[in-house]
Chains A and B, each alone.
Chain A
Amino acid sequence: MMDDICAHITDIVANSISAGAKKISVSIEMSKSRNILSLKITDNGKGMDKETAAKVIDPFYSTKTGRKVGLGIPLLKGTAETCGGGFALNSNEGTGTEIEAFFLLDHPDLPPLGKLKDTILISSVSNPEVNFSFDIKTDDRNFLFDTEEINKILDGLPINDPEVMKFFTKYLDENLEFI
């Protein structure tokens, strides 16, 4: 159902937005030396109590009784566990949610990473009221895209202005070549 890792990221980010998050941090680490792809998404949304947190992980929790969060969380957990990795969800009501997943990089069932540049662009530009940070790491490289820093430079010019979007497309192309 989810074609690539970026689809999972977009989906979890959509949950964070639905939870009213104003700050969402995504970190992705691809380490060939440790044979691991790890993913961490942290938000400052409304969070969940223990009971709700347990329910959103369960794919069989009924959608008919008002499931507000999609199947994205059980799908990500499933992909991580299929790929020799693991999954963890920590949430506190009122302060936010943190989701971590890791995968073995050489696992034959690991989906492709997908279009990371588009994922960063889409999230940042279509949620201008949310601050995003995307932290991308490999064994020897690191790239940080932080919209709080960007908005300071933009000084009132909207992040979804056409010229700004054109800039991001080129900027992300150049700076994420190492992925």
Chain B
Amino acid sequence: MKLEDLKKIRENASREIELRQKQARIKIVVGMGTSGIAAGAREVLKTFLDEIATHNLTDVMVTQTGEKGLASHEPMIEVHEEGKEVVVYGNIDPAKAKRIIAEHIINHNPVSEYMIEVK
């Protein structure tokens, strides 16, 4: 497999997809400071990426940030959605990440059990 193969993906992508992604409807921010990484934030981030790819969620993007300052709740993530309050989830693992994708991101029902803050 060569990098050149990416050209096909580029050619097949419609302008519409490109535009949608540029104005991502939802942004998931994963805390990737030292304590987050030690608590398993990498696996959580990877799960979000895998789920986005599997469900072809072109309007959701994942980004990372440094220390969140609440080491006891790592891995922590935030869900930013346009026009809504930011939801902070704590003690996330890959199984919980999958549930957040299914319930919060796809079905618009935040998972109250994992929430530690709404701001």
Name A's B-contacting residues (CB within 8 A): 1-3, 6-7, 10-11, 14-15, 17-18, 68, 70-72, 75, 115, 118-119, 121-122, 125-128, 149-150, 153-158, 160-167, 169-171, 174-175
A152 vs chain B, min Cβ distance (A): 10
What is the chain B residue whose CB lies nearest that of A15?
Answer: B66
B49 touches A150 (CB 8 A): no
Name B's A-contacting residues (CB within 8 A): 1, 3-7, 9-10, 12-13, 17-18, 21-22, 30, 32-35, 37-38, 42, 45-46, 49, 52-53, 55-58, 61-67
What is the chain B residue whose CB lies nearest that of A164?
Answer: B9
Residues of chain A lying within 8 A (CB to CB) of residue B5: 167, 171
What is the chain A residue whose CB lies nearest that of B4?
Answer: A153
A-B contact pairs, 19 of them (CB 8 A): A7-B42, A10-B37, A11-B32, A68-B67, A126-B64, A128-B63, A150-B3, A153-B7, A154-B10, A157-B13, A158-B61, A161-B9, A162-B56, A162-B58, A163-B53, A165-B49, A167-B6, A171-B1, A171-B5
B77 vs chain A, min Cβ distance (A): 12
Residues of chain B lying within 8 A (CB to CB) of residue A166: 53
Residues of chain A lying within 8 A (CB to CB) of residue B17: 157, 161
B1 touches A170 (CB 8 A): yes
B61 touches A14 (CB 8 A): no
Question: For the complex, what is the distance from the CA of A169 to the CA of B9, rounded to whole Å?
Answer: 14
Given A14-B32, A18-B66, A75-B34, the answer on whether A126 and B49 have CB atoms closer than 8 Å is yes
A5 vs chain B, min Cβ distance (A): 12
B78 vs chain A, min Cβ distance (A): 13
A11 touches B37 (CB 8 A): yes
Contact among B49, B53, B66 with A14 in the assembled complex (CB-CB below 8 Å)? B66
